[in-house]
Structure 1
Amino acid sequence: MSDTQTLIENRPPSVAALFLERVAATPDAEAYRYPVPAASGEGPDEWRSLTWGQAAERVYAIAAGLIELGIESEQRVALASSTRVEWILADLGIMCAGGATTTVYPQTNADESAFILSDSESRVLIAEDAAQVAKAVERRGELPALTKVVVIDPAGAETGDWVITLAELEKRGTAYLEQHPELIKERVGAITREQLATLIYTSGTTGRPKGVRLPHDNWAYMARATASTDLISADDVQYLWLPLAHVFGKVLTSGQIEVGHVTAVDGRVDKIIENLPVVRPTYMAAVPRIFEKVYNGVAAKAREGGAAKYKIFQWAAEVAREYAKASQDSFRRTGTTSVPFALAAKHKAADALVYGKLREAFGGNLRACVSGASALAPEIGYFFAGAGIHILEGYGLTETSAASFVNPGEAYRTGTVGKPLPGCEVRIADDGEILLRGPGVMEGYHQQPEKTAEVLESDGWFHTGDIGELSADGYLRITDRKKDLIKTSGGKYVAPAEVEGQFKAVCPYVSNILVHGADRNYCTALIALDEPTILQWAADNGLEGKSYAEVVAAPQTVEMVDGYVKQLNEGLQRWQTIKKFRLLPRDLDVEHGEITPSLKLKRPVVEREYKGLIDEMYNGAREA
């Protein structure tokens, strides 16, 4: 048995136990950094730190406070907050109390929040602020199991008997611990592998979300399995901004506890560009939309600089892609990275002109980024790889605790999601569906045995719903969602995500694109443009002062996008080509339910919302 297998098989029963081990091993080492806004409300944030020992004091106080409120083994405590250090401390506190965390996105409306709180039978809600408290207060009559609301930031919230502050909970917990000093050790010691740790509700595209039951063992396995890769080390500084209510963000907290590196936590997406040079992370995880926005922003800035500057950028982007492809091909064949001399020379020149500035924008220390939640367009991945920002794509689902596959360090291959984590088995079904089995797979859907049986076989194989291909040496490539594959009326199959990804690499102004064509004679597309970049383009093209809706309706905008659609079509098979498209009057967003909080497209919602535009593109048309 290898050292890795031994480490994974000898894992403790819970991340709560891992946390106690980490605190005992490195109590004075830095654990978390978090921003505190300037007192004046202006100027840069002040970043503060917590050591593992300081974090433990707060975690144990929260745990004891919850126990004093009556939380027992597996009882749910809901957490409705954006990504901040208190989210992590509260989640660890819930686990150390033996309870289970129900995660709620802060963007979730009052109706769906009430459904999640009711379906999970959550006893306590830890809410970020007055806005999150108000949702619970509004539906209090529908939530008989909810005995207490704890608010992290109490400004504007009416506290009292039912609503208390997090500071008050910690104060009560500290007093309770003085009377029961062995309480946390006893609670954590009693946790079993099979005990429920987390209930995450998937943002379903139709109907109510399903609660995914993830036991303590899932996270203990994930902590050990991710730490066993060459992805993270004790010297790392992670920048964590992903939503912690999402399984991708949550899994990043487990590996950190096992390894003991520093994590800088700030979920404000609008602060990412400002934070990166301050935090100077060595690694961070993101979803493809972030890399697309950075790429489009850099391209748009180069265009603003005039024709010569834009030409240099286009040349440098092509060199980056060529260099990345040659490097990865060389490593695959020989185990070393070498490229032709002429290409290396061009790459050195492009690095001085373009890539160096891009790396500085990421803080200058970035060793690797992990991308997940949806597919990254390979051409965008190759661009960043060639620029020295290595994006390691990974793959997993809420039902598999997020991380089932990840690209291995130097041996990563753009366009694939890498190899399975140690302990994860993979099989490709006859119809191409990816099946997974291992310690990361969920227990099942909460109170929905029939839904569980649809995806989870009795021998542990989980049906992912994704279509993929395995290379001879174990790299997985996802081709599409099984249910998203388009079959045209001519009988041809089209993978919309593949076409959409290619368009994002071609057009620097796109924000979201949906390719449609199921049971139709040809494919069409709904395209939403990125507001800041298209408004800048508009200002340079005689449309200054126009609103977003006016700009996208302008003939010159449609003509400009049409040029990129034609460029896309040149690289596609005839049946994949986009015959017609429509520009949407606004971008797709979470608030309208068109994309999930992890920025995945909800196809049925968008197709329903814009049915009129889709029908318009097919009226009386026969463009085979």
Structure 2
Amino acid sequence: MREFSTPLSLTIPSTGNLTDDVVTNAREAATTAVFSRATPDGWIDVTADQFHHEVCAVAKGLVAAGVEVGDRVALLSKTRYEWTLLDYAIWFAGAVTVPIYETSSAEQIGWILHDSGTRAVVAEGPDHLARVREARQAHDLPELQHVWSLQDNAVDVLTRLGADVSDEALEQRRTTAGPGDVATLIYTSGTTGRPKGCMLTHGNFMFELGVAVEELSDLFDTDEASTLLFLPLAHVFARIIQIGAVKSRARLGHSSDIKNLVADLGEFRPSFILAVPRVFEKVFNTASQRATADGRGKVFDRASDVAIAWSRALDGTKVPLRLRAQHAVFDKLVYGKLRQALGGSCAYAVSGGAPLGDRLGHFYRGIGLSVLEGYGLTETTAALTVNLPDAQKIGTVGRPIPGTSVRVGDDGELLFKGGQVFAGYWGNDAATHEAIDQDGWFHTGDVGEVDDEGFVRITGRKKEILVTAGGKNVAPAVLEDRLRAHALVDQCLVVGDGQPFIGALVTIDRETFPGWAEQHGKSGDVGGLLDDPDLVAAVQGAVDEANKAVSKAEAIRKFTILPGEWTEDGGQLTPSLKLKRNVVVREARAEIEALYLG
């Protein structure tokens, strides 16, 4: 199958903008709780009318401060209620939101503020303000006029500032933008080179959410629909869920500290969540490690195997009676506790940002949590494809959403068309023309395939394909995804371009290592046990399992365990936890060369 299209099943508005959802909610469902805010006194509901009132008040402050139509306003903060409030206030003022990851360095902040010509910044606290000051000193930022801080009551300051702006003046601002106008500039996280600003229009979001909310009605359109955001709202994946929740009136909460996530999930009790695959891997590995530490490792392993087998059987004619009985037993012993860790009410999860993997997909469905894997990029306003509750094929990223077409290029690259494809890169026509060809197809840079039912499978990155000395093309993502599924493995990099065989660099998970070390009678840190036979054997087991997914010529033949970690702070990972291959390859050049000596 070289091309597949899903017809559009509904009419997308040709007028208006994203602020219309807030106005409609306040008019039609004024007392409906559309948000829950975390406070020292617990979670407090915010009604549609209250949210509309707060958004208008803050938007008036932006207008009074001199923010004009089309001006860029940056948000530099963790995921929190005020992020969403300000996002909509910026749109009400007719301006454009520029999200910045709260972990960004002063250099990264400076580049984004300079490139976007940002007029104002709302930062979270003192640390962020310090980085903005450093960025101003290092970069020419003549457009930047205002910097507010949430910890210094930015919301109240803006509300007081806008007290004299009339409702009529704000309504004129609010209705200025149409579907073709830019709503946000989201800068790519930059696995290679400097980040580029993706221009996403109101129409891009209106198309994406108009389709997605209808297709995922089991998630968004129920009386108890709710979700807790804990991914960075600077990421398009979290942003699309935010806008979808507002559009559908699904109750939305925010969790800003991953350390409190389990407690927040238990109190909020979301009906669905979204996460990147690394989160699902961590949940599984942590549960496995704890079970092993408590002497229940074999029980957990058996429960895991049963969950996977049960899920696989669902795709057949029927689940065997014996398997159903085993599944029922483990549901009480194991699965229920895992569901409780997600709040106890979560039936669905949405996964994106990287491949989840067949095994984890079946495991989670087997314990009662359907993980709907999708695929998209910042340039495509998130989802191009998604698995649906009634149309799911685990191991794929689903079919194209309605109104979207996919084509497989002659070199295996996936190309897409649809109303969610961005307007281009900010101030960079050359990059835009490279991404969107003359026939209107967006080139994703990802390699994949489409089956005869239209389900898309991602097999690797076009620029990351390794070609061995023997001429064998190898997609590292398949091996890396499988390796990371092991509890002891934190990150890995598959190498071998131009070499006689495939090798790998592996880092050890600092959370699960102490439990493993205690179980095996080891003392000391990872750095002192790099050549320990038991640790090497454990990683070899993970490598052997990963190699089952590929041919002998593509298999990992040698690996090296590294003493350190690859982190966002260290510059090896993007904020969405993707590996910066070029950075790791540069930093680990000696270790890679050592793999092939002799």
1:73 to 69, 75, 98: 69
In the other structure, the counterpart of 1:193 is 179
Letter in 1 for 2:512: T
Q: Report if the CA contact (8 A) 2:9-2:402 is conserved.
A: no
Q: Which amino acid aligns with 2:374?
A: G
Match for residue 211 of structure 1?
197
Contact 1:499 1:576 in 2 (8 A): no
Deviation at 1:553, TM superposition (A): 5.4
Per the alignment, in what secondary structure is the counterpart of residue 566 of structure 2?
coil
- Secondary structure of 1:281's counterpart equals coil
Give the CA deviation at 1:63: 1.0
Q: Does 1:606 align with 2:584?
A: yes
More divergent stretch after superposition (13-22 vs 371-380): 13-22
Partner of 1:146: 144
Shift of 1:36: 2.2
Question: Cα offset for 1:140?
Answer: 2.6
Structure 2 residue identity aligned to 1:138: E
Deviation digits for residues 261-316 of structure 1 (CA, Å, limit 9, x no counterpart): 1011113222222222111111010000000001101111121122xx22221111
Q: TM-score, normalised by structure 2?
A: 0.95
Q: Secondary structure at the residue paired with 2:175?
A: helix
Q: Is it true that 1:295 corresponds to 2:284 in the alignment?
A: yes
Q: CA deviation at 1:7?
A: 4.1
Change beyond 3 A, Cα 1:553–1:128: farther
| Aligned residue in 1 for 2:315 | 328
Question: How many angstroms apart in 1 are the aligned matches of 2:540 and 2:27?
Answer: 61
The separation in 2 between residues aligned to 1:276 and 1:11, in whole angstroms, is 38
Measured in 1, the distance between the counterparts of 2:13 and 2:193 equals 40
Report if aligned partners of 1:81, 1:106 keep a CA contact under 8 Å in 2: yes
**2:13 aligned partner, one-letter code:** N
State which of 522, 528, 546 in structure 2 corresponds to 1:543: 522
1:504–1:328 distance in 2 versus 1, CA, 3 Å: farther
Aligned AA for 2:194?
Answer: R
- In the alignment, which residue of structure 1 is the partner of 2:167? 181
> For 1:88 and 1:409, how far apart are their aligned partners in 2?
28
Q: How does 1:180-579 map to 2 (within 5 A)?
A: 180-229=166-215, 230=217, 231-235=219-223, 236-306=225-295, 309-330=296-317, 338-505=318-485, 507-544=486-523, 546-552=524-530, 554-570=532-548, 572-579=550-557
3-state SS of paired residue (2:315): helix
The offset of 1:432, in angstroms, is: 1.5
Q: Which has the higher contact order (CA 8 A, sep 6+)?
A: 2
Q: Give a deviation string over 1:73-109, Cα, whole Å, max 9, x none.
A: 2110011111101000000000111100111111110
Per-residue deviation, residues 553-608 of structure 1 (Å, max 9, x unmatched): 54432233223323443554211221111112122111112111111111111111
Per mean C-alpha deviation after superposition, the further-off stretch among 396-405 and 558-567 is: 558-567
Q: Which amino acid aligns with 1:513?
A: C
Distance 2:469 2:32 in 1: 62
Q: Is the 8 A contact 1:426 1:437 kept in 2?
A: yes
For 1:418-437, what per-residue CA distance to the aligned partner results, in whole angstroms no more than 9, with x for missing partners? Answer: 11122222211122111111
Quickly say closer, same or farther: Cα 1:304–1:195, change in 2 above 3 A: same
TM (normalized to structure 1)?
0.91
Contact 2:185 2:200 in 1 (8 A): yes
* Code of the aligned partner of 1:541: H
Once superposed, what is the RMSD of the aligned Cα atoms?
A: 1.7
Whole-angstrom CA distance in 1 between matches of 2:209 and 2:56:
21
1:35 to 35, 38, 42: 38
Instruction: Could you tell me which runs of 5 or more consecutive residues in structure 1 were left unpaired when the two chains were aligned.
Output: 39-45, 155-163, 331-337
Q: Which residue of 1 aligns with 2:157?
A: 168
Structure 2 SS opposite 1:72: coil
Q: Distance in 1 between matches of 2:222 and 2:56?
A: 24
Aligned residues: 587
Q: CA deviation at 1:183?
A: 2.4
1:108 is matched with 104
CA deviation digits over 1:417-459, x for unaligned, max 9?
A: 1111222222111221111111111110111100111011234
* Structure 1 partner of 2:92: 96
**Is this contact kept in 2: 1:438–1:460, CA < 8 A?**
no
SS class of match (2:308) = helix
Counterpart for residue 43 of structure 1: none
Name the CA distance, whole Å, in 1 between partners of 2:259 and 2:333: 27
Letter in 2 for 1:496: P
Structure 1 residue 210, shift from structure 2 partner:
0.6
Identity, % of aligned pairs?
A: 37
Question: In the TM superposition, what is the alpha-carbon distance from 1:18 to its structure 2 partner?
Answer: 2.2
Distance 2:549 2:445 in 1: 27
Contact 1:214 1:401 in 2 (8 A): yes
Does 2:19 correspond to 1:16? yes
Inter-CA distance 567–284: structure 2 relative to 1 (3 Å threshold): closer
In the alignment, the residues of structure 2 paired with residue 329 and residue 405 of structure 1 have an alpha-carbon distance, to the nearest angstrom, of 24
Give the letter for the 2:345 counterpart: N
